[in-house]
Amino acid sequence: MIPALLMAVVGVGALALLNALYVGAEFGLIGTRRSRLEAMAREGNPVARRVLDTVTDFSRLDRAIATIQVGITGASLGLGMYGEHAVAELIRPLFSGLGESAGVARHGAASVAAVVLLTLIHMVVGEMVPKTLALQDPARAALWTERPLRWTGLALRPFVALLALFSRGLMRLLRIEPAAADAAALTLEEIQWVIDESGDMGALDKDQALLLANLVVFEGLPVRKVMLPRNQVVGLPLDATRESVRALLKATRHSRYPVFREQLDDVVGYVHVKDLIQVLHEEGPFDLQRLCRRLPYIPESASCAHLLQEFRTRRTHIALVVDEHGGTAGMVTMDDLVEEIVGDVQDEFDAEEPPLRRVRDGVAIAMGTLRLDDLEEALHLGLQDDQVDTVAGLVLKELGRMARPGDSVVPAGVTLTVETVDRLAITRVRLDWEPASQLSGGGDGD
């Protein structure tokens, strides 16, 4: 009795552990990060190098997964075929209370109990535990199971190759294309989701998550969303005098100024403030033309990533943004691109008023130039619009005419009231909305 019991326990345990080995290998290979394997391989770990070669080669990874599936199937079948009979024989005496005449009932009850017990062992020991351990540290699981998986692959190579042949034939019959080698690559949306989840779970702090999210969006962000609009561009006429230039520098304090002939649609270049300061202290005629540097042009529909490459190629920090008709739409600098990634950077000359100021719950003050994307990120009011980019643009779209102080519109249940206007431009807008606490809380019940 004792040898039979020992053999049954050893056999069932070995098959369950074998199943666990293949399950751990599968989740280790699929879940491990290539970056960690590369780091371990650079440190001289030969096992990490072999695992890295497997996960980066689609055909080798496919063979490894096929080998794992054969191993899991074999271990599961063995556990069922051998384990059910052995365990049923061992536990049959427990059902002796059914009587000697009820042999069939005793056998059936023992078989059912054996199947239930083996199913629990298979699910817990052979599936759930190794899966959980492998997901906690996929790289360690992949490295620990690499050698037995390699031995299994060598032993089962003909059988795995035959199964792969049948699998490819069935896929061709069903007209299913095999997965591409880069199918595991993440899309921008998936990368954004990973960043958001990492931030929510605390793996990244708020600033790190925001920086990475901005980098993902930066690639496809059009220049028109980051440029300084035409009505805010400060430039110098080509025939400017020394006195007018000195007054402009004192009033604005920028580092670069576009130079135009009669209007901003006819820009001849730009001047740097260092060149201007040097000339302003010289005697003789004042000529902006000889100080002008070449100003690159960029379409407003171009991406920020493309503009950054242009800046690097041309070794400049400023570009003129043109619209589809060839007119000046605005101006963009390297600082604008940097702030899209790291956030607003205030220097000693920037205005103190923030683009968005929350007065209290349900009330905020926004600059007209505040982008709707930034407003939505801060307040979540649902005011995004495909046709306009800024708060001022949304107000003008809803009004259908030029705005005056006191004008108000109510898009998406939010009241936008124009507070100040500079010439034709809306400079400050008040936002009023119903706070979420009042929407969900109701009032005092009678």
Unique residue bearing structure tokens 């001849």: 268
Same domain, 84 and 160: yes
256-260 vs 236-237, strand pairing mode: parallel
Last residue of a domain, one of 197, 218, 239: 218
Domain total of the chain: 4
Q: Is residue 444 part of a domain?
A: no
pLDDT in tens, 56-86: 887 788 889 889 988 999 888 888 887 777 7
Q: Is residue 271 part of a domain?
A: yes
CA 239/CA 244 separation, integer angstroms: 10
pLDDT given for residue 444 in this prediction: 46
pLDDT in tens, 313-368: 999 999 999 998 889 999 999 999 988 888 776 665 555 567 888 988 899 999 99
Closest CA to 224 of 292, 117, 141, 304: 304
pLDDT given for residue 440 in this prediction: 46
The CATH number of residue 420's host domain is 3.30.465.10
Phi-psi region of 202 (alpha: psi -120 to 50; beta: other; left: phi over 0): left
Same domain, 251 and 214: no
- Say if residue 135's pLDDT is above 70: yes
Same domain, 295 and 209: no
**Domain coverage including residue 150:** 2-173
pLDDT given for residue 349 in this prediction: 56
Same domain, 33 and 165: yes
pLDDT in tens, 299-311: 999 999 999 999 9
Q: Is residue 348 part of a domain?
A: no
Same domain, 28 and 141: yes
Same domain, 10 and 88: yes
pLDDT given for residue 360 in this prediction: 86
Contacts within 8 Å (CB) and 24+ apart, 259-262 = 259/235, 259/288, 259/292, 260/235, 260/236, 261/237, 262/237
Cβ-contact 433, 412 below 8 angstroms: no
415-422 vs 267-272, strand pairing mode: unpaired
Cβ-contact 428, 368 below 8 angstroms: yes
pLDDT in tens, 402-422: 999 999 999 999 999 999 998
CA dist 339 → 266, 314, 417 (Å) = 28, 21, 28
Same domain, 105 and 194: no
Last residue of a domain, one of 290, 318, 342: 342
- Say if residue 23's pLDDT is above 90: yes
Same domain, 209 and 230: no
Last residue of a domain, one of 138, 173, 208: 173
Same domain, 245 and 297: yes
Q: Is residue 349 part of a domain?
A: no
**Which residues, other chains included, contact 310 with Cβ-Cβ below 8 Å and sequence gap of 6+?**
296, 298, 319
Q: Is residue 181 part of a domain?
A: no
- Say if residue 22's pLDDT is above 90: yes
Same domain, 23 and 57: yes
Same domain, 324 and 258: yes
- Pick the range with the lowest mean pLDDT from 87-91, 209-213, 422-426: 87-91
Cβ-contact 145, 27 below 8 angstroms: no
The CATH number of residue 271's host domain is 3.10.580.10
Unique residue bearing structure tokens 């990634």: 341
Burial 203-217 (b: 16+ CB within 10 A, else e): ebeeeebbebbbeee
Q: Is residue 248 part of a domain?
A: yes
Q: Is residue 203 part of a domain?
A: yes
Which of 157-161, 279-283, 395-399 reaches the highest mean pLDDT? 395-399
DSSP 1: -
- Say if residue 103's pLDDT is above 80: no
**Which residues, other chains included, contact 250 with Cβ-Cβ below 8 Å and sequence gap of 6+?**
none
pLDDT given for residue 443 in this prediction: 47
* Mean pLDDT of the 115-137 span: 89
Provide the pLDDT confidence category of residue 179 given band limits of 50, 70 and 90: low
SS3 335: helix
Same domain, 143 and 13: yes
pLDDT given for residue 329 in this prediction: 92
Provide the pLDDT confidence category of residue 156 given band limits of 50, 70 and 90: confident
Q: Is residue 125 part of a domain?
A: yes
